[in-house]
Amino acid sequence: MVPINATYRNPQNTRLLGALAARDSSTRLKAALAAGTQPAPEYIDALIERCAVEPDFFVRDMLTWALTRFPAQLTVPKLRAELRSERGQARSQALHTLSKIGDRDAWPAITRSLLCDADEEVARSAWRAAVVLVPDGEEHVLATELATQFGRGDREVRLSLSRAFVSLGEAAETVLEAAAANNDPEVRAHASATQRLLRDPDAGFDLAVDEAKRVVALGPGAEEANAC
């Protein structure tokens, strides 16, 4: 990482800041790359602001990379503030960037409201960030909170939640057992599929879901009968 010793004020930096909002996505990509290659503190606000509105996935990814090149003490407070934004993409990208920085001082900012955010992209980003930032010993508490989201959304949303549980490992097992006995068949199927992935992370999610739904449809004892 290039050390940051001072705030630079020169025409080159001014041009770079302007290029972050250029019409051409390749220009924006190059500007984000340059900002991360030679980071100057004056870039931070512009990078975070651009994250909130950038439509191109690859540019957003480069913006996040650029922000990881700065000292966490400069970026994390600003990213935490961004989690209160009314714009969903701002919250989602801030969470994504915090997960990449990996500074556990950001953990208190991963609130229940973010884990349950109505915007599915925000919620998915919050789940990913949470399993990275959760303090040692708090994994079971996090799993209990995440379990309230079982049965939510489409395939991609459910897969994201399952992957979060797999990342939590053994700390999630008892929570999954309880969810797999839930009265809601969608919750049971999702939790059961997640149990299968936890036992075999290389198993296909769709196959795990199909098998879990079959077991739920057949009722209690179906899984034991299938194992015989």
Total domains, the chain? 2
Query: Whole-prediction pTM value?
Result: 0.85
Residues 103 and 147 in one domain: no
Residues 145 and 161 in one domain: yes
CATH number, domain at 47?
A: 1.25.10.10
* Structural domain includes residue 57: yes
* Structural domain includes residue 205: yes
| Region of poorest pLDDT, from 2-11, 13-22, 217-226 | 2-11
pLDDT tens-digit profile of 122-148? 999 999 999 999 999 999 999 999 999
pLDDT tens-digit profile of 66-109? 999 999 999 999 999 999 999 999 999 999 999 999 999 999 99
* Structural domain includes residue 1: no
Residues 175 and 109 in one domain: no
User: Which of 88, 110, 133 is a domain's end point?
Assistant: 133
> Can you give the residue range of the structural domain that contains 151?
138-220
Q: Examine the pLDDT at 199 and tell me if it is beyond 50.
A: yes
Compute the average pLDDT of residues 107-121: 97
Residues 35 and 98 in one domain: yes
* Structural domain includes residue 113: yes
- Rounded to an integer, what is the distance from CA 34 to the centroid of its chain? 25
User: Which of 113, 133, 153 is a domain's end point?
Assistant: 133
Asked if 225 and 217 count as a contact pair (C-beta separation under 8 A), the reply is no
Residues 19 and 97 in one domain: yes
Residues 186 and 147 in one domain: yes
What's the sign of the alpha-carbon dihedral 176, 171, 209, 163?
A: positive
Q: Examine the pLDDT at 175 and tell me if it is beyond 70.
A: yes
* Structural domain includes residue 7: no
pLDDT band at 205, cuts 50/70/90? low
Within the chain, where are the H helices? 11-19, 25-37, 43-51, 57-68, 72-82, 88-101, 112-115, 120-133, 139-146, 155-168, 173-179, 185-199, 205-218, 222-227
